[in-house]
Amino acid sequence: MIKLNRRQLMIFSLFSTGGIIAQKLLSNKNNNLSWAKSTPAVYKSKNGLLEVELIAQEIPVNIGGKTAYLLTYNGQIPAPRLEAKAGDKVKIKFTNKLNNSTNLHYHGLHISPNNNADNVFLEIKPNQTFNYELNIPENHHSMMGWYHPHLHGYTAQQLSGGLAGLFIIRGKLDEIPAIKSAKEKFIVLQDFSFDNNGRLTDSRMMSLMMGREGDVITVNGEINPQISLNQGEWLRLRILNASTSRFYNLSLDNNPFYLIATDGGAIASPQEMTRLLLTPGQRAEIMITGENKQSSLKLINLPYNRGGMGMMGNGMMGGGMMGRRNNNPSQILATINLNQSNQNNQSVSLPNQLNSITALPPPSQVRSFTLNHGMANGMAFLINGKSYNHQRIDTEVKLNTVEEWELINTGMMDHPFHIHVNSFQVISRNDIPENLLAWRDTVLVKRGERVKIRIRFNDFTGKTVYHCHILDHEDLGMMGNLQINT
């Protein structure tokens, strides 16, 4: 039996109350028992404008043949996919039909953090409608962003209920012949935890500490969906980890694939690999060739140990109180069926050059951010020893300058660090230079690791945030306010 100190007990009872709120939210019976569609709608911009209405609402959804009461945008798991281009205007009429306040964050998009744009300080109350208006800059990368709730204290609960959708910016990468002619498939990874009645289960304290993981893993709201691929055809898999805490350690059963893009868009040239680790919030695009001897390829999630608190990290108590297993078995996420045809289809080869990325110059300012979980103060999640405070500005930076941030994880769990509005480049890990030049907005900082990143603050002044993308950690304080000044 684990003994809890006073503060830990306080936090525990706080979470129990949170659980009651969650139960109340879920007991709000929806009389409309039609299940949400498994294929999400797609809304694309026309003549420079995308206008869409989104309603956040609890609704019964069919997950693997069972009814689950999930939190959805427009009744869909995952939410509708939005597609725009650089230079477009996006108008979102958002209505909150949840029982708690919420808001929308446009993860990975380089847009204003102010007013009715990517403003995470907004609170949209139940039954309130809010009009978002986003201006996508002319020079925006073609990339894969996504949208989800970001109201501090509610983020993990709402995201783990299902609220997540893709926000694609189309552009140059989509026009490269091998990529344009490839079969494009989006993969939104989500995990859910619900009881026999299909009600989302309450996450108890210890699983919140580790970050909640659901035992039902879905790909676009389905369990092990089948994807068909013709011989000679390329498959472009565009993958988002929309889970609250779960890492995906992806393999194609040891078959090679080619990484072509990370969070912020195309990398310089395709990278052959056999493993891809995606933390919550991260995206990656991979190309898979239909030139294969097997009749099917399996997309597999391999075990990954992201640490734990004290003795729990080494597996002694891994399962029970932590609400997760460190030795979780591999799981098939999706199956790619290869259609052997007699036609001798010639596949278009991937080009060596996908994008030109210039390394950011040496910084004008260097800072360090220490991430840990403050056992001394009880169970808080801290950046530079501080728990998040709405009122406090933690970091002030200057527009149009380059900074180098050293992210130091002195805790016992891995933390994926995310910065809003501007993407960055990873420079080194434990002083070993990073050899992949890529635009990212979320980077894994493993326990005991020091990761250096460089970031330039472009185009937008205003107040925004950086935080751990294990969203339970964010809700428990692992976030800071970033002020960008002229």
Q: Is 447 in the site for Cu ion (CB under 5 A)?
A: no
DSSP one-letter string for 327-389: TPPPEEEEEEEEE--SS-PPPPPPPS-S---PPPPPPSEEEEEEEE--GGGSS--EETTB---
Smaller CB separation from Cu ion, 260 or 470: 470
Smaller CB separation from Cu ion, 261 or 476: 476
Residue 222: left if φ>0, alpha if ψ -120 to 50, beta else—which one? beta
Q: Which stretch binds Cu ion (CB under 5 A): 72-80, 252-260, 261-269, 463-471?
A: 463-471
Which residues sit opposite 466 in a β-bridge?
419, 480
Q: How far is the CB of 415 from Cu ion (least distance, A)?
A: 3
Question: Containing H/E element for 425?
Answer: strand 424-429
Q: Is 208 in the site for Cu ion (CB under 5 A)?
A: no
Length of the chain: 486
Lookup result for tokens 């919140």: 208
Instruction: Tell me the number of residues near Cu ion by CB under 5 A.
Output: 4
Smaller CB separation from Cu ion, 220 or 326: 326
Which of the residues 404 through 443 are near Cu ion (CB under 5 A)? 415
Which of the residues 23 through 82 are near Cu ion (CB under 5 A)? none
Q: How far is the CB of 380 from Cu ion (least distance, A)?
A: 12
Q: Is 383 in the site for Cu ion (CB under 5 A)?
A: no
Q: How far is the CB of 308 from Cu ion (least distance, A)?
A: 12
Of 24, 63, 379, residue with least CA distance to 202: 24
Pick one of 156, 286, 468, 471: the residue that binds Cu ion (CB under 5 A).
468
Q: Is 379 in the site for Cu ion (CB under 5 A)?
A: no
Of 83, 77, 95, 76, residue with least CA distance to 51: 83
Residues 156 and 169: their CA atoms lie apart, in Å, by 25
Q: Is 470 in the site for Cu ion (CB under 5 A)?
A: yes
Structure tokens at 156: 């993990």
Question: Containing H/E element for 259?
Answer: strand 257-262
Smaller CB separation from Cu ion, 164 or 309: 309
Tell me the H-state helices in 379-449.
none
Smaller CB separation from Cu ion, 120 or 299: 120
Q: Is 380 in the site for Cu ion (CB under 5 A)?
A: no
Asked whether the beta carbons of 437 and 267 are under 8 A apart, the reply is yes
SS3 assignment for 31-91: CCCCCCCCCCCEEECECCEEEEEEEEEEEEEEECCEEEEEEEECCECCCCEEEEECCCEEE
Of 416, 432, 225, 420, residue with least CA distance to 334: 225
What helix, strand, coil percent values describe the chain, rounded to 5?
10, 40, 45
Smaller CB separation from Cu ion, 142 or 157: 157
Q: How far is the CB of 157 from Cu ion (least distance, A)?
A: 16
Pick one of 473, 475, 476, 484: the residue that binds Cu ion (CB under 5 A).
473
Smaller CB separation from Cu ion, 76 or 442: 442
Smaller CB separation from Cu ion, 363 or 378: 378
Q: How far is the CB of 319 from Cu ion (least distance, A)?
A: 20
CB atoms within 10 A of CB 269: 15
Q: How far is the CB of 201 from Cu ion (least distance, A)?
A: 21
Q: How far is the CB of 307 from Cu ion (least distance, A)?
A: 10
Q: How far is the CB of 138 from Cu ion (least distance, A)?
A: 35
Q: How far is the CB of 202 from Cu ion (least distance, A)?
A: 21
Q: How far is the CB of 473 from Cu ion (least distance, A)?
A: 3
Q: Is 105 in the site for Cu ion (CB under 5 A)?
A: no
Residues 380 and 388: their CA atoms lie apart, in Å, by 10
Smaller CB separation from Cu ion, 200 or 380: 380
Q: Which stretch binds Cu ion (CB under 5 A): 29-37, 302-310, 445-453, 462-470?
A: 462-470
Smaller CB separation from Cu ion, 141 or 469: 469
Chain residues in the site for Cu ion (CB under 5 A): 415, 468, 470, 473
